[in-house]
Structures are given as structure tokens and as C-alpha cells.
Amino acid sequence: MSWSASFALWAAPVANIRRLARVDWELLRAVRLEMLADSPLAYLETLSAARRQTDTQWQERAAMMSSGSNITLLADGGADDPRVRGLMRVALKEPRKPEEPRRAILLSVYVAPAYRGLGLAEELLGEACRVARSELGAAVLELGVHEDNERAKAFYLRHGFGFNGESRPFPQDRSRPKDVAKAGDAVKRELTMERELAPAQDRDSEGLPR
Ligand SMILES: CC(C)(COP(=O)(O)OP(=O)(O)OC[C@H]1O[C@@H](n2cnc3c(N)ncnc32)[C@H](O)[C@@H]1OP(=O)(O)O)[C@@H](O)C(=O)NCCC(=O)NCCS
């Protein structure tokens, strides 16, 4: 292979990022089953529950995930390879108090194993922050992460998220004793992280407030 062809391959983006649409429900089902099998601690749904969903339920889910206050970003290989390589969803949160800044939540964060460590997660997150701010009008983006998900925590910390002190028991934790009150620290928790979303003119190249 010539030097210029090798360079073109090296410089090519690892994926094409687009919006999930309601017609993508079969792609959504495929990637959702893949992500639940790959990283069961990362999501608040079990693989067996997802497998029981009907076609109609997947169609409804794709419609919900692409409706007004929900934007789902999907990374694929373009027309040549429509398989999903990564996914992230942002959704507007109901404000707890009207005077509080608008918040969005980051959900369904997934990059397929072969594409981890290549910058795709960063690209998806940058776009998620951009649309959360510019299209949903959010000033803060928050997320929940399992306390043992070290890779995800490192990724979020590198991109300006911090722990805000909130947490809750992780509902899918199979080690969770029935009597949570007696379990104390043994119960695994989902930790909340958040970061500010700066308007475009006040953002640095990492998307962080200047
Ligand atoms: C979370 C996820 C999107 C991050 O994407 P990624 O491409 O893996 O992210 P990066 O490689 O850019 O960053 C990962 C960081 O974790 C570090 N890391 C890798 N493996 C690690 C491990 N086992 N323990 C601790 N840190 C680890 C990397 O060195 C890197 O840290 P650095 O930036 O300080 O060097 C991806 O790993 C993923 O889809 N994981 C499975 C699903 C998941 O956990 N989703 C999050 C739900 S909250």
C-alpha cells in the first residue's frame, strides 16, 4: 500500500455519526442486545427483559428515543456498514425547581469493544454535549455510572464530569440482598456525575467552559 493510501486509512474517521430515527428500530434492538450482553453493569435493564420485548415495543422505543426532548446519536460505518459502533442518548430532565438551570441526562452510552480507545466515545460525547446545549437548551449534563465501572468513570472524569455526591442503589445488582436496610455498604451504587455545558462561543476545544 502506498504511503498516501496508508495515511488516508489512518486519518479516516472510525465512524459516521448520525441521529437515530424511528425507522432504525431493528438496528436499535441489535445494538441494545449487544450492549446489555457486553456490559450488564452499565445499564438499568437486563438482557432477558430486553429479549422479551416485541417488535412493536422496539418500534415504540425507537420513536421515543428520537422524539422532541430525546436525541440519540448513533455511530455506524456509513452506507457500506450500517452496523452500530456506538450510541449515546441525551434527554431533557424535568426541572426540580423552576429557577434551577435546565439539565439533560446522558443515557445508553456504548462504544463497541473494537472501537474503544480510538476516540469514537469522545466524538460521540462532544456531539452529545453540543446538542444537549444547543438543541435541548440544557446548561448541565448529568449521568449515572456504576461505582465499579472504572473505565467509564475515567472517561467521564477526563471529559470534565465530576461526582456531585448523589447516588442510589444499583437496581440490577444481583448481589443485592433482599433486605437492603441491613445490607449497608454491601449494596453497589450508581453514582451521579455532572458537568456544565457552555454556549458555543464560551467553549474550548474540549467543549469545556473557558
Ligand atoms: C465507557 C465507554 C463509552 C468509554 O469509551 P472508550 O473508548 O473506552 O474511552 P477511552 O478509551 O477514551 O477512555 C477510557 C479511559 O479508561 C481507562 N481505562 C481503560 N480500561 C480501564 C480499566 N479497566 N480500569 C480503569 N481505567 C481504565 C483508559 O486508560 C482511559 O483513561 P485515560 O483517558 O485516563 O487514559 C466504553 O468503554 C464503553 O462503551 N464501555 C461499555 C459500556 C459502558 O460502560 N457504558 C457507560 C455506562 S455509564
Q: What is the pLDDT of residues 129-162, one digit of tens each?
A: 999 999 999 999 999 999 999 999 999 999 999 9
Residue 94 pLDDT level (bands cut at 50, 70, 90): confident
pLDDT tens for 9-40 read 444 567 899 999 999 999 999 999 999 999 99
Q: Is 151 in the pocket of ligand 1 (CB under 6 A)?
A: yes
Neighbouring C-alpha atoms within 13 Å toward the C-beta of 126: 13
Look at the block and give the residue holding cell 443485592.
176
pLDDT tens for 180-197 read 545 455 589 999 999 999
Q: Is 121 in the pocket of ligand 1 (CB under 6 A)?
A: yes
Compute, in angstroms, the gap from residue 121 CA to the centroid of ligand 1. 9
Statement: residue 164 has pLDDT above 60: yes
Strands in 16-19's sheet, in edge-to-edge order, are: 16-19, 70-76, 84-92, 103-111, 140-146, 189-196, 162-169
Statement: residue 108 has pLDDT above 70: yes
Per DSSP (E only), the strands in 30-96 are 70-76, 84-92
Distances (CA, A) of 38 to 46, 96, 114, 149, 194: 11, 34, 12, 13, 25
Statement: residue 174 has pLDDT above 80: no
Compute, in angstroms, the gap from residue 152 CA to the centroid of ligand 1. 4
Compute, in angstroms, the gap from residue 113 CA to the centroid of ligand 1. 10
Q: Which has the higher per-residue pLDDT, 43 or 205?
A: 43
DSSP classification of residue 121 = H
Judge contact between 95 and 62, C-beta under 8 A.
no
Look at the block and give the residue holding cell 432477558.
48
How far apart are alpha carbons 103 and 121 in whole angstroms? 21
- Return the best residue to mutate from 145, 155, 167, 188 for the ligand 1 pocket (most ligand atoms within 8 A of CB): 155
| pLDDT for 56 | 98
Q: Is 39 in the pocket of ligand 1 (CB under 6 A)?
A: yes
Q: Could you tell me the CATH superfamily of domain 14-202?
A: Gcn5-related N-acetyltransferase (GNAT) (3.40.630.30)
Average pLDDT (49-71) is 97
